[in-house]
Structure 1
């Protein structure tokens, strides 16, 4: 880990850093990453998409739709990230959504 952090801290460009980071994360089983940053978040708004910094190793076809058509606005992982710190996986999110769906279904049957 120390050598990895040293490597990242010595990168000369964002592209070099991102390539080193995605390669390392792939070793841990994270084969697709999205990093987003904005200085202009307020309330429920992330600000102007033109001001976002987005790094990803997803395909252009995916990001053109996900970002270009603003699907991220309602994306579960984005909503999770806006309310939490740290890393989260799609598996963790799927478990949370499944638990929420179960709770909603249980509430629906109790109301009948």
Structure 2
């Protein structure tokens, strides 16, 4: 769908110390997200790109992998090289049994 120029990783490849960038919308984030993830909605990325570290591994996640693939391509075009798309997004994350939480600390769900 996006070709080989967008490197990917599975949800099980996301290490605890990986910078996990969640590019979903506010309502999706509020319903549930990975613990420790950093929220930056895709449409805000151009204005907030400096918030994304370029000196460590960054995993980009959305609901299913489409928006995050676009963000990975955008970051790579802007000089990021340690960035990967999380295959299947939060849907695969939850299905794999990885934790999903809310800002209050309560269990979350993927919408």
Q: Give the TM-score category using the shorter length.
A: under 0.3
Structure whose residues are more often strand by fraction: 2
Of the two structures, which has the highest relative contact order with CA contacts closer than 8 Å and spacing of 6 or more?
Answer: 2
TM-score (norm 2): 0.24
Query: Which protein has the larger Cα radius of gyration, Structure 1 or Structure 2?
Result: 1
TM-score, with structure 1 as normaliser:
0.24
